Amino acid sequence: MLYGIISAAKLVNKWALSQIIILKFTNIPIIYLVIKTIIRKFAPSLSQENYMKTIIHGPSISKVTFIDPNRARIQLETGETYIVAFPGPSNYLSGDHFIQLLGWEFDLYWGTQGSIQEGYRLINSHLYRDGYDMMLFVAPEQNKTDERKRIGERIKELRKKRNLDAKTLASRIGIDASNLCRIEQGHYSVGFDILSKIANALNAKVDIVENDCDN
């Protein structure tokens, strides 16, 4: 039986197999040893402690969600949030297996190897080893709430200046009035296309201006 399981492991995707076995057989000691052998073979850089974490803990502590096919948001156990960019959508298309893997990688290596740079290097080397696209960059997510409120207040200010109610403006740009209210309150992340439509309807334009800085 043991020989059969090990032979089968060579014929299927390493992560898919480990997921199936983890879900169904982690309480059986002999299967646990097989899992450990498989992970040791395919992920030799993981320490003994990390084998145990991968097998026993199941879902990662770090929460991974894709913003779009090329970017993911990583929320660490500390509450810190990072945006990760990839060169294409292939990681996104890999689905839950990649999400779980990336969460584990951040659990094990981000900020635990002496420097952020070293964690970045290790995670990228493991993604490359496992056939995934490497990260282009990792950046802390800025708190966008204040900026959303500022933009929303400016939209509301211009709307009232043009003597438009929310329902009329919303109909002109093709969105629900309730969504426009959320935008004005800073509760909704608006895309550039919608923002441009709002600006045009208010006889305004979207621009990028420098912040005033005191030297």
The continuous run of DSSP H or E covering 54 comes out as: helix 48-57
**Residue 135 placed within a domain:** yes
113: pLDDT strictly greater than 60 = no
| Both structure tokens of 79 | 């509450």
Residue 28 forms part of a structural domain: yes
Q: Residue 114 has what pLDDT?
A: 58
* Same domain for 155 and 135: no
The domain boundary, picked from 10, 37, 57, lies at 57
Question: Is 195's pLDDT higher than 80?
Answer: yes
Let me know if residue 211 belongs to a domain: no
CA–CA dist 173, 52 (Å, integer): 54
Q: Mind listing the pLDDT tens digit for each residue in 115-130?
A: 778 888 999 999 999 8
Q: Please tell me the chain's helix, strand, coil percentages from 3-state DSSP, rounded to the nearest 5.
A: 55, 10, 35
| CATH number, position 153 | 1.10.260.40
Q: Which of 214, 198, 104 is nearest to 154 (CA)?
A: 198
Picking from 87, 118, 140, the residue at the C-terminal end of a domain is 140
Position 112 scores a pLDDT of: 66
Residues of the domain holding 166: 145-201
- pLDDT bin (cut points 50, 70, 90) of residue 109 is confident
CA 138 to CA 73: how far, in whole Å?
A: 10
Q: Do 118 and 67 share a structural domain?
A: yes
**Which two three-digit tokens encode residue 199?**
């600006």
The total domain count for the chain is 3
In a domain, 102, yes or no: yes
Q: How would residue 186 be classed by pLDDT, with cut points 50, 70 and 90? A: confident
63 or 8, greater pLDDT: 63
Q: Which tens digit of pLDDT belongs to each residue from 39-91?
A: 545 544 444 444 444 444 467 788 999 999 999 999 887 777 889 999 999 99
pLDDT-derived band at 162 (thresholds 50, 70, 90) equals very high
In-domain check, residue 214: no
Question: If you ran DSSP here, which 8-state letter would residue 133 be given?
Answer: P
